[in-house]
Amino acid sequence: MAQAQGAQAAAPPLLQARQIGKIFGQHHALDGVDFEARAGEVHALLGENGAGKSTLIKILTGALQPDAGEVLVEGQPVHLRDPQQAQGLGIGTVYQEVNLLTNRSVAENLFLGRQPTRFGLVRKGVIERQARQILAAYGLEIDVRAELGSYSVAIQQIVAIARAVELSGKVLVLDEPTASLDRVEVDKLFDVVRALKARGLAIVFITHFLDQVFALADRVTVLRNGRLVGTKTLAGLSQTEVVRMMLGKDLSFAHAIGGGPDAETGPAVVTFDGIGRAGKVHPFTLTLHEGEVVGVAGLLGSGRTEMARLMFGVDLADSGMVRMGGRVFALRSPAQAVAAGFGFCPEDRKLDGIFADLSVRENIIIALQARLGWFRMLTTEEQVDIAGRFADALDIRAAHHDMAVKLLSGGNQQKVILARWLATDPRVLILDEPTRGIDVGAHAEIVRTINRLREDGLALLVISSELDEVVAYSNRIVVMRERQMVAELRGEQIDPATIVQAIAGQAAPDQTPEETP
């Protein structure tokens, strides 16, 4: 494996993790993961949500303890009890949300917890002078007596980095530092990171912006589903190869299980015509047909969830209209979408989907009840009947339907949410990551259910990070990148390789998305 700096190849890595395993309940968050960060390199850590990035970072910075494997600092095995200890060993962390005291001065923040004192008094003059010197090295000339909160997030971020480096000095972990910065600020931050790299620090860089990885990092490590996919030197690596590492284990799997891309689709159900929202999703136009599954591919942060939220009226679009059966309207609320015959299974099941303390039965009938209105209550008999029917249809395994839904497994909870929407007899179903975080068996069932619903004539829009899955059930695939719909793939184009290329933004596919009129 090529080293960025040959001279240091012989020295042990500043920070190393060997065969790390971490189990939450029954779920393997990490399994046999190796990772290292060498002096003078920027090492990017990549992976979709749930890949295990944050768990690994927490273990490396002492916030979590591994169940298996070991952490080494400069070749010596260490047991990191907490972040303070990690800091003492030279490992500093800067998070996306700056966790400093915004109502204290910049200088105080830099020296928080280790102010130089004389006779127990904080020496204000001294810390202000030192703070100016430190920040000058980062190209910052600001009033260090001003409140930290009076500066932009970018400057706060750099102050946080300066503080972490001053405290630790060997390894700097940057956890999605650019998420809330604009382009100029990102460039400034990168200059700082490059300077630190030149000083011989090891920098671990977590992000999901691929171009930033290529702009800054020397090596990249990709995790998927808690396992190490690989560590590669970026020089000579293409974006496509990185996307492939992130999304699919191999690109040669069988094509389409169900009717697949060639299945006949029915008439148009709904057209989202130029729907968009500034800062969230560029206006897009998309028509869904009866008996059709439209897959949505794209990396995390590409705007795929935002798109679904606009289509269901959760967030309000500031452009475009919905056309449905001769009617043209703007979606103002989920209630309106439900009334129009839409259903939506959100990405975060716990947060936005289930009513944990309510019963399975109530969770299933709630959307139908909301659509009927408060006055026309479903009788207990009707509720039992409906819940029974859809629970059977989706094979929801619950001891009985009066138990709290929180007692069910993730897969069964997801099926409860599906059942909830099916009970409303919808025409359009939007599923955001319907298979995330559920076990393999339930996974396959949900894929089968999606196919069956399509055969029943529903129009489905399915967002998923699982490429093979999307390929398997989609008649059409739209690709999102940087908040834009960048490609619409049909027929022969529905192929993992083509999708990966579109996501990576390299070869332009033949077919461009429908134009906004």
Stretch that binds other proteins, among 28-36, 256-264, 364-372, 388-396 (CB under 8 A): 364-372
Contact 461, 294 (CB under 8 A): yes
What minimum distance in Å lies between the beta carbon of 49 and other proteins? Answer: 18
CB atoms within 10 A of CB 154: 20
Q: Tokens for 7, please give them.
A: 């001279």
Q: Tokens for 2, please give them.
A: 């090529």
Tell how strand 202-206 and strand 219-224 pair up.
Answer: unpaired
Q: Tokens for 417, please give them.
A: 């949410």
The answer to whether residue 338 forms part of the interface with other proteins (CB under 8 A) is yes
The answer to whether residue 434 forms part of the interface with other proteins (CB under 8 A) is no
Length of the chain: 517
Between 136 and 356, whose beta carbon lies closer to other proteins? 356
**How far is 66 from 494, CA to CA, in rounded Å?**
40
The answer to whether residue 352 forms part of the interface with other proteins (CB under 8 A) is yes
Stretch that binds other proteins, among 35-43, 239-247, 297-305, 365-373 (CB under 8 A): 365-373
The answer to whether residue 378 forms part of the interface with other proteins (CB under 8 A) is yes
What minimum distance in Å lies between the beta carbon of 1 and other proteins? Answer: 46
The answer to whether residue 384 forms part of the interface with other proteins (CB under 8 A) is no
Kindly give the interhelix angle for 410-422 and 380-393, rounded to the nearest 10 degrees: 120
Q: What is the DSSP string of 20-73?
A: EEEEETTEEEEEEEEEEE-TT-EEEEE--TTSSHHHHHHHHTTSS--SEEEEEE
The answer to whether residue 423 forms part of the interface with other proteins (CB under 8 A) is no
Residue among 354, 459, 478, 494 that touches other proteins (CB under 8 A): 354
Contact 17, 69 (CB under 8 A): yes
What minimum distance in Å lies between the beta carbon of 179 and other proteins? Answer: 22
The answer to whether residue 314 forms part of the interface with other proteins (CB under 8 A) is yes
Stretch that binds other proteins, among 101-109, 168-176, 264-272, 370-378 (CB under 8 A): 370-378
What minimum distance in Å lies between the beta carbon of 150 and other proteins? Answer: 25
96: left (phi over 0), alpha (psi -120 to 50) or beta: alpha
Contact 419, 393 (CB under 8 A): yes
The answer to whether residue 407 forms part of the interface with other proteins (CB under 8 A) is yes
The answer to whether residue 399 forms part of the interface with other proteins (CB under 8 A) is yes
The answer to whether residue 26 forms part of the interface with other proteins (CB under 8 A) is no
The answer to whether residue 330 forms part of the interface with other proteins (CB under 8 A) is no
The answer to whether residue 369 forms part of the interface with other proteins (CB under 8 A) is yes
Amino acid at the residue 65:
Q
DSSP summary character for residue 351: I
**How far is 420 from 436, CA to CA, in rounded Å?**
18
Stretch that binds other proteins, among 18-26, 154-162, 192-200, 397-405 (CB under 8 A): 397-405
Tell how strand 91-94 and strand 117-118 pair up.
Answer: unpaired
What minimum distance in Å lies between the beta carbon of 355 and other proteins? Answer: 4
Helix, strand, coil % in the chain, rounded to nearest 5 = 35, 25, 40
The answer to whether residue 226 forms part of the interface with other proteins (CB under 8 A) is no
What minimum distance in Å lies between the beta carbon of 381 and other proteins? Answer: 13
The answer to whether residue 196 forms part of the interface with other proteins (CB under 8 A) is no
Between 232 and 371, whose beta carbon lies closer to other proteins? 371
Between 291 and 411, whose beta carbon lies closer to other proteins? 411
Residue among 186, 237, 358, 444 that touches other proteins (CB under 8 A): 358
Between 92 and 313, whose beta carbon lies closer to other proteins? 313
Stretch that binds other proteins, among 247-255, 284-292, 356-364, 492-500 (CB under 8 A): 356-364
Contacts of 312 (CB under 8 A, 6+ apart): 331, 334, 337, 342, 344, 430
x-or-dash string of contact with other proteins, 52-71, rule CB under 8 A: --------------------
- Per-residue burial over 377-406, b if 16 or more Cβ lie within 10 Å, else e, is ebeeeebeebbeebbeebebebeebeebbe
Stretch that binds other proteins, among 188-196, 374-382, 438-446, 476-484 (CB under 8 A): 374-382
Residue among 101, 215, 316, 377 that touches other proteins (CB under 8 A): 377
The answer to whether residue 346 forms part of the interface with other proteins (CB under 8 A) is yes
The answer to whether residue 402 forms part of the interface with other proteins (CB under 8 A) is yes
Beta bridge partners of 55: none
The answer to whether residue 316 forms part of the interface with other proteins (CB under 8 A) is no
What minimum distance in Å lies between the beta carbon of 314 and other proteins? Answer: 7
What minimum distance in Å lies between the beta carbon of 442 and other proteins? Answer: 14
Q: What angle do CA 222, 226, 227 make, to 5 degrees?
A: 60
Between 298 and 353, whose beta carbon lies closer to other proteins? 353
Stretch that binds other proteins, among 281-289, 385-393, 404-412, 496-504 (CB under 8 A): 404-412
**What is the distance of C-alpha 257 from the center of its chain?**
27
Stretch that binds other proteins, among 152-160, 264-272, 393-401, 479-487 (CB under 8 A): 393-401
Residue among 375, 381, 440, 441 that touches other proteins (CB under 8 A): 375
- Total interface residues for other proteins by CB under 8 A: 42
Alpha carbon distances (Å) from 36 to 58, 184, 219, 241: 15, 30, 10, 21
Alpha carbon distances (Å) from 161 to 67, 142, 187, 374: 30, 15, 15, 53
Contact 331, 271 (CB under 8 A): no
Give the residues lining the site for other proteins (CB under 8 A): 312, 314, 333-335, 337-339, 344, 346, 351-359, 362, 366-367, 369-378, 398-400, 402-404, 407-409, 420
